[in-house]
Amino acid sequence: MNTIDIKTNEECDSIAHLINEELKALGIHQNFAPVCDISSNNEAIKNRSFGSDKKSVTELSRQFILSTQEDNIVATAKHFPGHGLVKGDTHKQSVYIDGELQEVDIYKPLIESGVISIMVAHITVLNNPLYDTKGLPATCSRTIVTDLLKNELDFKGIIISDALNIMKAVTILEKAPLKASMAGCDMILMPIDELETMNWILEEMKSNPIYKKQVEQSVKKIIRLKICLGLV
């Protein structure tokens, strides 16, 4: 994906199937792709996306998802709500969407086409009355994960956080894995300390029945996915 310039659905389908063969050979069942951001010049995204044309990015992302899931590999659209039209790299610093969420529209047809998983970015949203994250990265914002992605866009699949172990935009945040879980993420990707993360979640569940029910729903979603993949 990093070195091939994909321009047509046929090329996208072919590349996706080649990737799927490699993943299956390695015993991997979920691909953290496609990158659905609309800029090829962003410091973090670089040439990982399908380009800078929203229509083309949407269509090629949709094709990649369909071809991936046709081979019984879970596709993961990322980086919600959009990492393309921002300056900076969340691996190095906090990065902001200042105002309108210009890339969210990409996800609507992907959700309608049945994408199984969506990854949320560590992007902070400001100057947006509806979706301001109040200084938190989107990963840890219930406004973005639950209100927007789950409720408004009606996404019923698996929501996964971006990596929590090396990205400066989130490692500076206290108990970031717990905050991401409480925001509505079903899966927590690469927390710095897995045991500590589990203990935080279990402790919160003891005193927060609403959160406890949410975690149980997330676990059920993941178990159902494993059943569908033939892993259980």
Catalytic residue among 29, 89, 91, 147: 91
Show the DSSP H helices in the chain as ranges: 9-26, 54-70, 107-112, 142, 168-171, 176-183, 194-207, 209-228
To the query of whether residue 79 is one of the catalytic residues in this protein, the response is no
Cis status, amide bond into 81, omega within 30 of 0: yes
- CB of 125 within 8 A of CB of 96? yes
Q: Using CB atoms within 10 A of its CB, is residue 180 exposed (0-12), middle (13-18) or buried (19+)?
A: buried
Gap between the terminal Cα atoms of the chain: 31
To the query of whether residue 162 is one of the catalytic residues in this protein, the response is yes
CA angle 226–48–141, rounded 5-degree value: 60
Q: Are strands 123-126 and 30-31 parallel, antiparallel or unpaired?
A: unpaired
Catalytic residue among 13, 37, 162, 186: 162
Q: So which residues are the catalytic ones?
A: 91, 162
